[in-house]
Amino acid sequence: MSTAPLPFEIDARSAGGPLGLPPAQFLRDYWQKRPLLIRNAFPAFETPLQPEDLAGLACEEFALSRLIRHDRAGDGWQVETGPFDEDLFPGLGDRDWTLLVQDVDKWDADVAALLPHFAFLPRWRIDDIMVSFAATGGSVGAHVDQYDVFLLQGQGHRRWQIDASEAMGRGLPPQDFRDDVELKLLREFTATHDWVLGPGDMLYLPPMVPHHGVAEDPCLTFSIGMRAPAVAELMGDLVDTLAADIDESQRYHDETLAVPADPNEIDDAAMARVVAALEALRTDDPERLGEWFGRFITGYRNAHQVMPADALPPRIELEFQLAEGGAVLQRNPFSRMAWRRSGDGARLFVSGTAWALPPADAARLAAAGTVSAQDYADLTAEGRDAVNALFEQGHYQLALPDEA
């Protein structure tokens, strides 16, 4: 067996996939363990989005956007949040600024088409595709992310420096932040690797790997980021969920109370009764935990609340349009779906709600961005009922043939 150290850089041109190696090997050797630069992850890549398109999106009220400017002379950083006035961009100059827009995959179908290339990961783990445009010299500073990210170079060139000390066995690099800027920038940063990425190159970074990207020329970068809720968020939401189901009649009680030595002391016996009362918040029931987590993770960090349309056709008209009119149902881009087996059936989770369905229906709907007439016909009665209810809630939109 080879004992050669794992490479930090590979070429995927002849590998037939964006990872440059089998997904199982990537997950075993790199995922959440060590960075990997993948040259030619997307050979001959052509950006699905132009800088002017991104600027236009950043001017919209619904978009989550930021503008970061760097003053090199004083190493100062200025952060502004959108929406922006379109007149702003011509006056920004040609150096040292970056425009970032979150959730671009929700607004642009061509950007969303990148996501199937990452099907080696659970879909519910993928958060969004953020797109950044940087003028020459543009950067967001040296920082760490608390989640996994794939940085795909779409246009132009960006120099990435990373500190892979931990993966190299040198210990955890410094993680202290500067206190003189709005951004969470590292106080100290020393690079172990320095690469320039061109279109189609992709850098994978596990959580907490220090990195610093600077545009060599005007460039676009696509950041495929993961959903990684903090343990505190998980605990807080789970406790809220469990507490909501506890009857008010369940209270702290002390029928074994003895005369206290000191009536002002919270003694060990009292604390034992407190612990016993809190047992109501414990659950080892996998069904209950699965129900909670499915709802939580499909609703986690949603940038927009899905709302029903003002006027909806009745079910009979909807089914006619599907069967005879060539229409399809398109899933709302902000509607997140996942499913889980539950006994002999399944639960389909949709943006924090849950639906009891046969496993085949749940799996089909969770995977499908659109529901055609044939897809609809292949569902059970329960599946069709769920689709109609989700349509009424805004999770599906009817697209006629000239709109699909």
DSSP for residue 6: P
In this structure, are strands 65-71 and 97-101 parallel, antiparallel, or unpaired?
antiparallel
pLDDT attached to residue 280: 81
> CA-based diameter of the chain, in Å?
82
Q: Is the pLDDT of residue 73 over 70?
A: yes
Q: Is the pLDDT of residue 397 over 80?
A: yes
Mean pLDDT calculated for residue range 18-38: 97
Sheet bearing 345-350, strands edge to edge:
337-342, 345-350, 353-357
- Cα–Cα distances (Å) from 64 to 91, 107, 115, 325, 355, in that order, read 21, 11, 20, 36, 30
Q: With contact defined as beta carbons under 8 Å apart, do 66 and 100 qualify?
A: yes
pTM of the model: 0.92
Q: What's the token pair of residue 382?
A: 């329960």
Question: From CA 321, how far away is CA 323, in angstroms rounded?
Answer: 6
pLDDT attached to residue 402: 75
286 contact partners, CB below 8 Å, separation of at least 6: none
Q: With contact defined as beta carbons under 8 Å apart, do 312 and 392 qualify?
A: yes
Q: What is the pLDDT of residues 335-392, one digit of tens each?
A: 999 999 999 999 999 999 999 999 999 999 999 999 999 999 999 999 999 999 999 9
Question: From CA 277, how far away is CA 201, in angstroms rounded?
Answer: 55
pLDDT attached to residue 303: 73
Question: From CA 338, how far away is CA 67, in angstroms rounded?
Answer: 33
- pLDDT tier at 12 (50, 70, 90 boundaries)? very high
Mean pLDDT calculated for residue range 25-50: 97
Q: Is the pLDDT of residue 1 over 70?
A: no
* 3 state SS for 217-248: CCEEEEEEEECCCCHHHHHHHHHHHHHHCCCC
pLDDT attached to residue 3: 63
Sheet bearing 328-331, strands edge to edge:
370-371, 328-331, 396-399
More confident residue, 15 or 351: 351
- pLDDT tier at 199 (50, 70, 90 boundaries)? very high
Q: Is the pLDDT of residue 267 over 60?
A: yes
Q: What's the token pair of residue 188?
A: 């100290």
The pLDDT mean for the chain works out to: 94
pLDDT attached to residue 26: 97
Q: What percent of the chain has pLDDT over 70?
A: 99
Picking from 177, 213, 179, the residue whose alpha carbon sits closest to that of residue 197 is: 213
Q: What's the token pair of residue 317?
A: 């008209």
3-class DSSP state for residue 58?
Answer: helix
DSSP for residue 303: S
Q: Is 283 exposed, middle or buried (0-12, 13-18, 19+ CB in 10 A)?
A: middle
Other C-beta atoms lying within 10 Å of the C-beta of residue 315:
15
Q: What's the token pair of residue 75?
A: 């190493």
Question: From CA 55, how far away is CA 317, in angstroms rounded?
Answer: 40
Q: How many helices (H) and strands (E) does the chain have?
A: 11, 18
Q: What is the pLDDT of residues 77-130, one digit of tens each?
A: 999 999 999 999 999 999 999 999 999 999 999 999 999 999 999 999 999 999
Mean pLDDT calculated for residue range 281-298: 91
pLDDT attached to residue 292: 95
- pLDDT tier at 2 (50, 70, 90 boundaries)? low
Question: From CA 22, how far away is CA 37, in angstroms rounded?
Answer: 15
Q: What is the pLDDT of residues 206-262, one digit of tens each?
A: 999 999 999 999 999 999 999 999 999 999 999 999 888 888 888 999 999 999 999
Q: With contact defined as beta carbons under 8 Å apart, do 266 and 184 qualify?
A: no
Question: From CA 350, how far away is CA 342, in angstroms rounded?
Answer: 16
Peptide bond preceding 83: is omega within 30 degrees of 0, i.e. cis?
Answer: yes
3-class DSSP state for residue 110?
Answer: helix
Directed axis angle between helix 286-299 and helix 231-244, to 10°? 120
Question: From CA 150, how far away is CA 38, in angstroms rounded?
Answer: 10
Place of tokens 């500073």: 141
Residue 224 bridge partners (DSSP): 129, 150
Q: What percent of the chain has pLDDT over 90?
A: 87
